[in-house]
Amino acid sequence: MAAHLARPEGHHYICGVSLYSLACRTLLGAPVSLGEYAGKVSLVVNVASACGHTPQYAGLQALHDKLKGRGFAVLGFPCNDFGAQEPGSAADIQQFCSSTYAVTFPLFEKVTVKAGPAQSPVYAELFRGSGKLPAWNFGKYLVDRQGKALAFFEPKVSPEDAQLRGAIETALA
């Protein structure tokens, strides 16, 4: 289910930068530094409003609510790369997420996760850190407090999955 990446004690990261050193835009277009999440464990998810996995929004919100007080955040990046399942505007996405799933975790501007010249720097860095890119909507990266990818979870792994929950608890410990 997950591809865990071993990080030996004292290991220095030679390539790539911390995810938390990057800047992007909120869903509604305001510039934001991912440095706001430095020191937190994050679950970065490429989300879509018209996917068979879209009901995972409810579990992601529950996970965010349960663990945010312990230094955890879900970070959602809408993506239209797979099956054109996120065709809406930023306002459409915000409205859908708010009204259908009461999403309050951070949502960022729609991105391209697939490799190539249009790929988001966020996903380029997640790939450098994990060796994995999502092959569909709702791929999940567990990111440590320093902004390095610890594990990648396939879209079929739900937010309630015991292995995902265990990995998050380990990262928070």
Q: How far apart are CA 114 and CA 126, in angstroms?
A: 12
Q: Does residue 51 have an active-site annotation?
A: yes
Residue with tokens 């949502």: 107
To 5 degrees, how large is the angle CA 85–CA 88–CA 94?
105
Reduced to 3 states (helix: H, G, I; strand: E, B; else coil), residue 66 is: helix
Q: Residues 15, 51, 79, 97: which is the catalytic one? A: 51
Interstrand relation of 72-78 and 149-153 (parallel, antiparallel or unpaired): unpaired
Find, among 51, 42, 28, 48, the residue nearest to 108 by Cα.
Answer: 28
Active site residues: 51
